[in-house]
Homo-oligomer: A and B are copies of this chain.
């Protein structure tokens, strides 16, 4: 039975060898050589150090194209023109599915035709050498961003390739990203990823790990996201990770977002072991964007504004072309610069908004309920607890496509635009908290003169792309 325990080093080696044989490029991975390579990197390319020592939020976009040269060019552009502090390398979908053969086809087709036949950078196919070329070429830290349930080979190759930060986790890259992978399976696979990061860490190369906070990106109640971040942070810590960046996706209500980021930071430090350096990342709105770049800029700016108040350690920016498709490098840079301007104009201002403590307190209480139920479900073991709590529905994520989550909990905004829970299903929560949510949602229903229903949820899902925060009924009923 899988538990929250550190993988013994022989086991680590056994798995490592096994997974490296999954694709030809696995062979080139050599741990000692990798350590040496990392040690050769200048300070400004060390992800954890750069992130942890920053004194205002660092900005990072999302970006990945199939070919190495193009990826170098793209990241250079985002660095120089977009003034990104931290860079990404987003991995293609075939690699996420461990379909390295298909990724290879795509890559070759890309090389022949010059077209972007993959939606990201197939790092496994580029191999250790390819990754290092990228790391060498770019004068800033780079993170691997993907969405891969089984990211073991990707981790082995990219860590050896010089990347010092790796997004994802067993829940956050399972529940929102895949239908059929069991939680037990993804936890086991991510224990390896974390253990490998821990092995580097032990040797002084602190690989930063970043659980994916936004989950389904769509009206996720803060406490659910935070609980999952705490679980993934704990799992990583167990395997020896010492630099953890907990994530949270903007819901659009400033008070709730600031409160959530505060709670994330506080609970992160509380639930994770002392030897872990906890940082936070704020994702600009991850749900449906307006089909209009001008309005998208407004959404992005509201994110910047929120970041300037909450001051997370990092902000993942969106581009004004989010609605349409993968952004051009110009649009991607524009999203960075718009965010930067808002943050830089607002960050020196003292902006203390009423009600943040109260909302934070609510979020903390909710999160503790969820953490308690997880521990209870697992008799103190967080791995078993997570699996069982998802199984019973005591832990759940709205709009989860995965068979591993009930996906039965439904969120809706209250009259102030804060995300509350409309349908609890089996989610574990103290009754008095449920009453608070109910009262808030009743208030909204009264304002709108309609019943709470799935229609309200659907309206809220569309609201921001339609230009509002709250999905009020349009015209008459």
Contacts and interface: CB of A to CB of B under 8 A. Distances in A.
A50 interface: no
A295 to B, nearest CB: 4
A353 B355 contact: no
A17 to B, nearest CB: 48
How many identical chains are in the complex?
A: 2
Interface in A320-372: 333-342, 344-346, 348-355
Contact of A417 (B298, B348, B352, B470): B348
Contacts of A300: 301
Interface string A250-290: 00111100000000000000000000000000000000001
Contacts of A297: 294, 297, 301, 334, 338, 341
A351 to B, nearest CB: 6
Interface in A211-269: 252-255
Contacts of A118: none
Interface string A302-333: 10110000000000000000000000000001
Most chain-B CB neighbours within 10 Å: which of A305, A336, A464? A305
Contacts of A333: 294
A299 interface: yes
A305 B470 CA distance: 17
Contacts of A470: 348
B346 A294 contact: no
Contact of A337 (B254, B292, B305, B346): B292
Nearest to A346: B302
Given A337-B295, A352-B353, A469 B302 contact: no
B416 A338 contact: no
A254 B294 contact: no
A468 interface: yes
Given A254-B351, A351-B353, A469-B349, A340 B295 contact: yes
A464 B295 contact: no
A250 B122 CA distance: 48
Contacts of A255: 349-351
27 contacts: A252-B345, A254-B346, A254-B351, A255-B350, A292-B337, A294-B297, A294-B333, A295-B337, A295-B340, A296-B341, A297-B334, A297-B338, A297-B341, A298-B338, A298-B340, A299-B341, A300-B301, A301-B304, A301-B305, A301-B338, A302-B305, A345-B467, A348-B417, A348-B469, A349-B416, A349-B417, A353-B353
Interface of A: 252-255, 290, 292-302, 304-305, 333-342, 344-346, 348-355, 415-417, 464, 467-470
The 6 A-B pairs at the shortest CB distance, nearest first, are namely A298-B341, A301-B301, A294-B334, A294-B337, A295-B341, A352-B354
Given A294-B334, A344-B469, A345-B464, 17 more contacts: A253-B349, A254-B349, A290-B341, A294-B297, A294-B335, A298-B337, A298-B339, A298-B341, A298-B342, A298-B345, A299-B341, A302-B305, A344-B468, A345-B468, A348-B416, A348-B469, A352-B355
